[in-house]
Amino acid sequence: MEAPALDDSARAGQPETAAMPEPLQIAEAPIINMQANSKPVVLITGASSGIGKVCAEHLHARGYRVYGTSRRAAETGAPTSDSFRLIAMDVTSEDSVERAMQLILSREGRLDVVFNNAGDGIAGSVEDTSIEEARQQLDTNFFGVLRVCRAALPIMRQQGAGLIVNVSSLGGLVGLPFQGLYSASKFAVEGMTEVLRMEVRPFGVRVALVEPGDFRTGFTAQRRKVAAARLDGAYSERFGKALEVMEHDETNGADPVAVARLLERLITSRSPRPRYKVGGFVQKLSVGLLRKILPQKLFEYFLMMSYGIA
């Protein structure tokens, strides 16, 4: 659900003897320089495949100075000159994040945009998910975002401008059956990003969330089943049905270029909204309108029906 944007409150009538409060002044964030030959420097995490790679290629083709990251960048080697730069970064390592930031600063002298896209997914019931598996999921999807934000913010504050776009999910607004820890990691990104917007606004740094639905990417093949879910157990039958629906929806999902186009619009937006849902119409309708108008129990039943587990 979108939080209401902060704005100035209308003045209420005051007695003539009372001092009138000064109106709240919130400066507009400086728009990132879009002059010719001065395209923004963009960092996109998780750019070796999927949404991250499509976004990096899209912005590179339009002249942006794009740095994509991958844990495997050192193994795959540098990209050709007609593509974006792919540099090594493991978002679960603070040292790795800092090294990548310093590399970008040494080459460009600034950092204008961060697209926090790196992430992965695990599947299985909450009960079947071990503490270690849950910890690994949050270390990538939540703490990875936090590490990159903490490394980028001193640079952007010093510049007096910047944009951070954190990738959540429609599963960060609605708990998805048998993806409980994935949803938990995205719920955490949602909450942290809401606060970050308010904290960094005085420094000219803009922050927004992108909440993708199902897209045709490598995410489906990379999803990991938790260890206990691979065994025959109490949840096996319903988990199998839900997993089949997940994979079908993803392999028949939208083209990820829609996310790339949205990111480009956000870069040129002076005052982005807190949240942007992107994906298929039915999914956005379900999470947006139906979640708002249906009683919780009825929406829950609708969601279980959608996954074939009602």
Residues designated as active site: 48, 168, 182, 186
Burial class (CB in 10 A: 0-12, 13-18, 19+), 304: middle
Distance from the Cα of residue 241 to its chain's centroid = 27
Query: In whole angstroms, what is the distance from residue 307 CA to residue 301 CA?
Result: 10
Inter-residue contact 190 to 172 (CB < 8 Å): yes
Query: In whole angstroms, what is the distance from residue 19 CA to residue 14 CA?
Result: 8
DSSP string for residues in 202-230: GGTEEEEEEEE--BSSTHHHH-EE-GGGG
Query: In whole angstroms, what is the distance from residue 188 CA to residue 168 CA?
Result: 9
